[in-house]
Chain A
Amino acid sequence: MTSEQAFSTFTAEGLVCVRGERVVFTRLDLSLASGEAMFLLGPNGSGKSSLLRVLAGLLKPAAGRLTWNHQALAEDREGHAARIHYVGHHDAIKPVLSVMENLRFWGRLHDPLAGDAAVKAALERFGLWHLRQVPGKLLSAGQKRRLNLARLLAAPASLWLLDEPSVALDKASVKTLEAVIAEHRANGGMVILSTHADVSLPGATELHLDRFTPTTPPEFWA
């Protein structure tokens, strides 16, 4: 989206994620460069959501490090937040605010300079412009999801972390999402997404999370 996006790389080295007392994945490496996309695959509970939260900076990994252009991210949480969009399971839509107000808030919060033009374009892209005055509580599940995805376009960010973005979307909306992701990649953006449904991204790499599940139970498990 931004014109000054130079070539960047995003890497994770030796990530270990522990939830409760369970080791979800260990020694996970990944690397992504501008224009690339990556699918996270694996059965339920293999840590797709946890990995996305670690990559977003919401969850601290038990070990390992994240780098952006070879600079460690641990020291620059806010800088990382400015570079990413995270779409999780919740749609973060306020029932009493209109579609426009919901999106405008997130757009301005991410980038105070983002104008209403970007918000309008984002709503039009996801087919929500005619619903802009409708309060969030009247939206269907699919419309809420589209509104959540519209955040991707309302303010620019290089790395999109999408946790099952196609849930509740109809076929046409999945096509829109694929097109939006393709444009983002053409502009030098990166995408990491987990999905169970069919989202097709040409040239996307795959990361099978079940390969990083610890084989021997940890000793403290007893």
Chain B
Amino acid sequence: MSRLSEIIRRDLRLALRQGSDSVMVVTFFVLTVVLFPFGLGPETNLLERTSAGVLWVTALLASMLSLDRLFLADYEDGSLELLALTPTALELLVIGKVVAHWLTTGLPLMVAAPVLAVLLHMHADGFGTLLLTMLLGTPTLSLIGAMGAALVLGARRGGVLLSLLVLPLYVPVLILGVGAIDAAVQGLPADGLLLMLGGFLLGALPLAPWAAAAALRQALE
């Protein structure tokens, strides 16, 4: 367990000192969402109707931006070999890296989302659900993304391959997230969709690190 906190602390420290990834992800998120009112026109109804979809699609793309760096830096400087030789399950270290990734990308997205929802005239009833879907959905994105990032390690043009691998797997999160917000805005119960989103997270929590660790071992051979 202390090894888990050790790797989370290291990755957070690296992210804070390098700073680029977090800032890049949030900047991309904000800038892209801000483009929509320009593209769709200032019509409040239209923006309101599309707000949940716009926010979630942009969040998906933003969280993908930082994925290819997740294991690549460690792979290139030899740290990954040593991590694989740590006397503990590699899966645990993958979880540590995913937690750090979520704290530096998913969490800032979650914080920025309500502000941007105001810009898109989202109905006030949707805000609570928006935050909840982000809370349940963004960790799933980091988990699935880690699996993809581990699989493309060492491949040329890994970034393109990564989006091909990961985006289809993001679709259920997108559908459930947007569905829950729309339901809440229309005054319908969103519990079922939120529970499914939570179920997705619980499913990804053991499966994604397991698959990612297997892919990392393969990449190191």
Contacts and interface: CB of A to CB of B under 8 A. Distances in A.
Partners in one complex: yes
A222 B23 CA distance: 54
Contact of B79 (A60, A92, A112): A92
Interface residues of B, number: 24
B6 interface: yes
Contacts of A111: 87
Interface string B78-102: 1101111111110000000000000
Given A105-B10, A108-B2, A108-B6, A56 B77 contact: no
A64 interface: no
Chain A interface extent, by class: 20 to 34
B6 A88 contact: no
Given A92-B77, A94-B77, A81 B85 contact: yes
B220 interface: yes
Contacts of A79: 87
B87 A81 contact: yes
B157 interface: no
Interface in A59-106: 59-60, 78-79, 81-82, 84, 86, 88-94, 96-97, 101, 105-106
A58 B78 contact: no
A186 interface: no
Nearest to B89: A78
A89 B79 CA distance: 11
A127 interface: no
Contacts of B79: 90, 92, 94
A84 B18 CA distance: 32
B17 interface: yes
A14 interface: no
B69 interface: no
Contact of B6 (A92, A94, A109): A109
Nearest to A161: B85
A69 to B, nearest CB: 17
B118 to A, nearest CB: 36
A185 to B, nearest CB: 21
Given A96-B14, A97-B14, A84 B85 contact: yes
Contact of B77 (A57, A82, A91): A91
Contact of A58 (B10, B18, B87, B221): B221
A146 interface: no
A88 B81 contact: yes
Contacts of B82: 86, 92, 106, 109
A75 to B, nearest CB: 15
A110 interface: yes
Interface of B: 2-3, 6-7, 10, 13-14, 17-18, 76-79, 81-89, 220-221
23 contacts: A58-B85, A58-B220, A58-B221, A59-B220, A79-B87, A81-B86, A81-B87, A88-B81, A90-B76, A90-B77, A90-B78, A90-B79, A92-B77, A92-B79, A96-B14, A96-B17, A105-B10, A108-B3, A108-B6, A109-B3, A109-B7, A110-B87, A112-B2
Interface of A: 56-60, 78-79, 81-82, 84, 86, 88-94, 96-97, 101, 105-106, 108-112
